[in-house]
Amino acid sequence: MLSIQNLKASIEDGTQILKGINLEVRPGEVHAIMGPNGSGKSTLSKVIAGHPAYKVDGGSVELDGKNLLEMEISERANSGLFISTQYPTEIPGVNNVEFLKMALNSKRAYLGLPEINDADFHKLCEEKMELLEMDARYRERGVNEGYSGGEKKRNEILQMAILDPKVSFLDETDSGLDIDALRIVANGINHIMNPEKAVILVTHYQRLLDYIKPTYVHVLRHGKIILSGGPELALKLEEQGYDWIEEK
């Protein structure tokens, strides 16, 4: 469903960060992307999302056969892509629930559906917040306003649960979570996941993969995927680091 082919992208000064990424994600799959800091994992997520800081030099990204790279940022999301960035932005003054509703209704409008009514939205929101064990504070405050790192990550999964994307790319969603929060977030992701959907997880730690079993594990280094394998690869990386891998 998500097909990335030979994707190359650079930053404003011309430095190429992604140097030909290939990744094929099918329904029902969980892909873990690991790799040392600075290898381009976050850049990959932002390029797919359409972040203006990056220029695509070549390659393609398709979601269900549609070229994402030609779409507006909002259109990509409304087509079923969900990208959670490593450091979710704070937006004081924009109420978190209003924002969720606005996002959901934007998607519905894009799909030609009417706006969700208040009662249904309220029910949906309550249900997902309960799933993620989130209290009323998330409702009252601005988007990520004054949230701790862990609270921001939980709020990301809340958005994912409400927007119900086909493909989610979660960048270090497990970083900064304590053991309980990790379990809650992982359960949330598992709950949303189904055979029609796919998740890409960027992580440094096996502990997330204990909860969410990956179909494939990839190593990204210097802007390329240099090794792919099954769940056992993550265990090996945790033990031995990245230096044993030979780059082609």
Q: Which stretches of the chain bind another protein, using CB under 8 A?
A: 49-52, 72-74, 76-78, 83, 85, 88-89, 91-94, 99, 102-103, 106-107, 110, 142-143, 159, 163
- Per-position x/- string for 137-176, each x denoting binding to Mg ion as judged by CB under 5 A, each - no binding: ----------------------------------------
* Binders of ligand ADP in range 15-74 (CB under 6 A): 17, 35, 37-43, 53
**What is the 3-class SS of 211-229, one letter each residue?**
HCCCCEEEEEECCEEEEEE
51: DSSP letter: -
- The beta-strand segments (E) located in the chain are 2-11, 16-25, 30-34, 54-63, 66-67, 81-84, 91-95, 142-143, 167-171, 198-202, 216-221, 224-229
Do strands 30-34 and 216-221 pair parallel, antiparallel, or not at all (unpaired)?
A: parallel
Contact 110, 72 (CB under 8 A): no
Q: Which does 187 bind (CB under 5 to 8 A by kind): ligand ADP, Mg ion, another protein, none?
A: none
Tell me how far apart the alpha carbons of residues 129 and 155 are, in angstroms, rounded to a whole number. 9
Helices 118-131 and 149-163: angle between axes, nearest 10 degrees: 130
Contact between 89 and ligand ADP (CB under 6 A)?
no
Contact between 42 and Mg ion (CB under 5 A)?
yes
Task: For the CB of residue 218, give the shortest distance to another protein in the complex, in Å.
Answer: 23
Q: Which does 225 bind (CB under 5 to 8 A by kind): another protein, Mg ion, ligand ADP, none?
A: none
In the complex, which residues of this chain contact ligand ADP (CB under 6 A)? 11, 17, 35, 37-43, 53
In the complex, which residues of this chain contact Mg ion (CB under 5 A)? 41-42, 86
